[in-house]
Structure 1
């Protein structure tokens, strides 16, 4: 059933991971050049991998357990991405002078929130199905 609330959360996580990386920059270096995720293949791959996992999870709606597992894997992937982003932004050359962090660094956090809400809704559906099966 594609009309469930977790589909909305998963789609929102996919839009955040795949669409907003082209809009918001990750940081600005000392020369005033804005660094986007498409400038680094590692960041681009991790963001697009997260979006792909979200989209795959949307279409696994018949198997809630695998949907839940894919959500957890996506959360782990976003935490790894967040760690790499924080590490890379702290070692930007010339960090002694002021460089500006962009809102793009917060995108994995927004994605994690959406994925946690989706997993909560998936778990709620799974518990509902189990309770109905007990009544039969």
Structure 2
């Protein structure tokens, strides 16, 4: 399980969606306070679902096809989260009182998507290797 490279990528996606949002703010309010994802219920649910899907994908290491589909769902979920961040940042850009600067937390879904795509690539490679060995028998 842990010796496969896709598990490392999935652990990285888990850390990106499950740990880093607690550390990096999404944006900084004009009064200097950091806006973390916990201050919006929708963001909490989406980050929680993404983290849960990463864990489920790690635990389903024996079923590569299921792992592949779960990762695709997780990519779609992170794209939705990224879209919400972009929508919010465009609506609350510099002219809006309340938001002074965007934080690095807004880019976390991009890093998670990259890790999930790399995991899917490794899963596909693994599946192709298993199919080629089955052909030889």
Q: TM-score, normalised by structure 1?
A: 0.94
Q: Which runs of 4+ in 1 moved over 4 A?
A: none
Q: Does 1:74 align with 2:74?
A: yes
Work out the number of aligned pairs and report it: 135
Aligned-partner SS, 2:133: helix
The normalised TM-score by structure 2 is 0.94
Deviation at 1:31, TM superposition (A): 2.1
- The offset of 1:52, in angstroms, is 0.6
Whole-Å separation in 2 of the counterparts to 1:101 and 1:12: 23
Matching of residue 95 in structure 1 with residue 94 in structure 2: yes
Segments of structure 1 that go 5 or more residues without pairing to the other structure are none
Structure 1 partner of 2:127? 126
| Alpha-carbon distance in structure 2 between the residues aligned to 1:18 and 1:61 | 20
Distance 1:17 1:127 in 2: 29
Q: Does the aligned pair in 2 maintain the 1:2–1:61 contact within 8 Å? A: no
Query: Which whole-Å CA distance do the structure 1 matches of 2:35 and 2:91 have between them?
Result: 14
1:89 Cα shift?
2.0
Report the counterpart of residue 111 of structure 2 in structure 1: 110
Other-structure match for 1:65: 65
Q: Distance in 2 between matches of 1:55 and 1:75?
A: 14
